[in-house]
Amino acid sequence: MKKNLCLLLILLSSFAGIAQSNPALNSALNAYPTVKLNTAYVQFLGNGIVLSANYERQLFKKSGLGIHVGFGVCGETGFNWNNSSRVTIPVGINYLLPLKRYNRFVDFGIGATYAKSDMQVYMLVEHRNPNYVNTNYWSCVPSISYRIHTPKHMMYRYGFTPVINQYGFIPFFEFCAGKSF
């Protein structure tokens, strides 16, 4: 766990160092007016467990509190797509904490993911009984991410999003890309 957290901190600090050393990028970002209130994005390894399409709404004109809902899919056993896929419905709230650099944020969030079927992520959790089926399944997904909004209203987010459920703590590192409008 400590190794993963250290790797995340090194990765995030390297992005900040690269962005700060580019004056052309700085001037372009400073010309960007405000963050748009709506964002549609695709998320890999986040609230939707494996892959999800999401809509997010900031509740205030300035960065701050937001809500999101989405539609996701994962394989029958997490990443195994051979037999069938499972539908997931991720929902959550987040808070954007602005950084000194314009349109850069630390994104803190908490979410819940509902699925009608059992979603065991076998590659990250010890093997469970494959005959076990739970028809009502919830996961809690807290997150801390580094978020970037570009002058062309693109949004990118990289972060740590562990999944907490009946199988324990499963560490995920998310990537999101989308368009703000």
Residue 131 domain boundaries:
2-180
CATH number, position 117:
2.40.160.20
pLDDT at 143: 96
Domain total in the chain: 1
Q: What is the pLDDT of residues 130-180, one digit of tens each?
A: 665 555 678 899 999 999 999 999 999 999 999 888 778 889 999 999 999
- The pTM for the full model equals 0.69
40-75 as b/e: b if 16+ CB within 10 A: ebbbebbbbbbebebebebeeeebeebebebebbbb
